[in-house]
């Protein structure tokens, strides 16, 4: 069974850091395009970052320079390191496997709250 299990969210002060994890089972993250998508309270979906199978990474302008996506192939896990967090980064963060076909999977989401 394919699963994406997320962890690492929580409450952090503005300017702080947080690392989100997304552990995959049932497929190999290093063979996949893996994205992070976020959803601010009461708002729509916003793409944040992607890591390609070849290791290339890309970021939304709203987080560029503050966020880093990575993966650990031995753990079949993708990470999102978030630094210099702002109040406007408050959102539920989802990891997702991107695919043109039916193999699109999303994690359960993890809440990040940036507040003093």
Partner 1 sequence: IPLTQSPSSLSASVGDRVTITCRASQGISSYLAWFQQKPGKAPKLLIYAASSLQSGVPSRFSGSGSGTDFTLTISSLQPEDFATYYCQQLNSYPQTFGQGTKVEIK
- The contact set with partner 1 (CB under 8 A) reads 35, 37, 44-47, 50, 58, 60, 94, 98-102, 104, 106-109
Contact 64, 48 (CB under 8 A): no
- Output 60 or 68, the one with its CB closest to partner 1: 60
Q: Please state the closest distance from residue 116 (CB atom) to partner 1, in A.
A: 26
- Nearest-5° Cα angle at 37, 104 to 54: 65
Q: Please state the closest distance from residue 28 (CB atom) to partner 1, in A.
A: 19
Q: Please state the closest distance from residue 12 (CB atom) to partner 1, in A.
A: 21
- Output 87 or 99, the one with its CB closest to partner 1: 99
- Output 16 or 23, the one with its CB closest to partner 1: 23
Contact 85, 67 (CB under 8 A): no
Query: Who contacts 64 (Cβ-Cβ below 8 Å, separation ≥6)?
Result: none
DSSP tag of 81: E
């Amino acid at each position: 069974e394919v699963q994406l299990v997320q962890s690492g969210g929580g409450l952090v002060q503005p300017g702080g850091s947080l690392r989100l994890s997304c552990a995959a089972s049932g497929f190999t993250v290093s063979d996949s395009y893996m994205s992070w998508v976020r959803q601010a309270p009461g708002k729509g979906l916003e793409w944040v970052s992607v890591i390609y199978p070849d290791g290339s990474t890309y970021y939304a302008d709203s987080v560029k320079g503050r966020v880093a996506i990575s993966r650990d192939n031995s753990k079949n896990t993708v990470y999102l390191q978030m630094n210099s967090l702002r109040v406007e980064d408050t959102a539920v963060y989802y990891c997702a496997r991107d695919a043109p076909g039916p193999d699109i999977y999303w994690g359960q989401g993890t809440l990040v709250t940036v507040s003093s």
